[in-house]
Amino acid sequence: MKTIDDLQVAGKRVFVRADLNVPLDGTTITDDGRIRAVAPTIAKLAARGAKVIVASHLGRPKGAPDPAFSLAPAAARLGEILGQDVAFATDTVGDSARSVVADLRDGQVAVVENLRFNAGETSKDDAERGAFADRLAELADLYVGDGFGAVHRKHASVYDLPARLPHAAGDLIATEVGVLKRLTEDVKRPYVVVLGGAKVSDKLAVIDELLGKADRLLIGGGMAYTFLKAKGYEVGISLLQEDQVPAVTEYLERAEKNGVELVLPVDILASRDFPDLKTKAPADFVTVDADKIPADMEGLDIGPKTRELFASKIADAGTVFWNGPVGVAEHPDYAGGTTAVAQALLDSPGFTVVGGGDSAAAVRALGFDENAFGHISTGGGASLEYLEGKTLPGLAALED
């Protein structure tokens, strides 16, 4: 896989497929981590005299323009981070994009509008996707893939476009792949994986793979209640995927057979009411043993005993991978578990990786120093699929 150091970019139009898919509250960016992560690649190309055209998706528009998903706020923030003006095209491959690109001078940067405003970007039809990739290719001379959060998608700008232009991986993708290889090919043990988030179904494949590779699996978040149910515990009105109980039961049995320590919560913060995430009003909850959740309550965070237990299982790790908050971390009363996991990673002497998505956002929202972790990924889904052993279309497309 070539990198941008292998490309002659001076005076060339360089199309950078970035991941500017940032969370928005109206037009206000609430977490700019993904923009900051790709900015060094863009700055490096501009400093070498490239005319940089940045493209990304944001959210899930239905293949047509939708002002709620405009990349304009991300383009403005990118300009602030780069310390230079960034032009913005109000379409992706139309008159505005062509005009903005034509006006670029060496070292200048432009962002085109949301790729998913075009149905061809995400189409499952190869011809429709290819036709959109052809129009994107007309804008540029070279292609740089640096949107790691999208490399698991077979989309036009990720998979089809690199075949139409000389291409290379950006520095962010090169770093992400290097980290993932350390998690799969050169693992220092004990290897501890912490999995949280809402749905166990989102993590089944990676759990299946890790049961043969990890030394310890720590399970929290909404997905933990399906595991607790599989052990025969009452989980009240907690988030539960009843249809996944048989698979989870098999995983519990396989973990024991393989000598993998599968660690579940031993106590829970439970409440009759889901917290107000807008006002952050104080929540009414009780702390209960994990096998004694009242029938009319739902679990919303791991309890103090579990926080200590998880920290003890991380303390001697040689490698830690963490994906997914272990509670409703957006609310201060239920952020304690996620805070404890983040602190345990910081205290660990091993190589620590925060696996993107909500866990990465939580680390920043809770005020932790990002640089204190071994790596914070920009792509939760992409990281998980890589660990599952899948071929990621966006990485395959960048191979020579």
| Candidate from 158-162, 297-301, 328-332, 367-371 with smallest mean pLDDT | 367-371
**Per-domain residue ranges for the chain?**
4-174, 187-387
Q: Is the pLDDT of residue 71 over 80?
A: yes
Nearby residues of 230 by Cβ (< 8 Å), 6 or more positions away: 245, 248, 249, 252
Catalytic residue among 357, 379, 380, 394: 357
Is 212 flagged in the annotation as binding?
no
- The CATH topology of domain 187-387 is Rossmann fold (3.40.50)
Is 301 flagged in the annotation as binding?
no
Give per-residue burial for 358-369: e unless 16+ CB within 10 Å, then b: bbbbbbbbeebe
Catalytic residue among 145, 222, 380, 381: 381
On average, the pLDDT of the chain sits at: 96
∠ Cα 132 137 139 (to 5°):
110
CB 266 within 8 A of CB 292: no
Residue 381 among the catalytic residues: yes
10 Å Cβ neighbour count for 393?
A: 19
pLDDT (average), residues 369-391: 91
How many whole angstroms separate alpha carbon 343 and alpha carbon 388? 26
Catalytic residue among 2, 164, 199, 213: 199
Model confidence at 54, pLDDT cuts 50, 70, 90, reads very high
How many whole angstroms separate alpha carbon 91 and alpha carbon 98? 9
- Residue the block writes with tokens 């009452």: 234
Catalytic residue among 12, 34, 129, 313: 34
Is 153 flagged in the annotation as binding?
yes
Residue 367 among the catalytic residues: no
Model confidence at 380, pLDDT cuts 50, 70, 90, reads confident
Residue 199 among the catalytic residues: yes
Model confidence at 19, pLDDT cuts 50, 70, 90, reads very high
| CATH topology match: 4-174 vs 187-387 | yes
Under CATH, which architecture does the 4-174 domain have?
A: 3-Layer(aba) Sandwich (3.40)
Is 203 flagged in the annotation as binding?
yes
Give pLDDT tens digits for 196-232.
998 888 899 999 999 999 999 999 999 999 999 999 9
Element (H, E) at 353: strand 351-354
How many whole angstroms separate alpha carbon 86 and alpha carbon 1? 29
How many whole angstroms separate alpha carbon 135 and alpha carbon 110? 17
Is 116 flagged in the annotation as binding?
yes
pLDDT (average), residues 375-387: 91
Is 58 flagged in the annotation as binding?
yes
Q: What is the pLDDT of residue 302?
A: 98
How many whole angstroms separate alpha carbon 323 and alpha carbon 244? 19
10 Å Cβ neighbour count for 169?
A: 26
Residue 254 among the catalytic residues: no
Give pLDDT tens digits for 169-197.
999 999 999 999 999 998 999 999 999 99
Nearby residues of 315 by Cβ (< 8 Å), 6 or more positions away: 344, 347, 348
Model confidence at 358, pLDDT cuts 50, 70, 90, reads confident
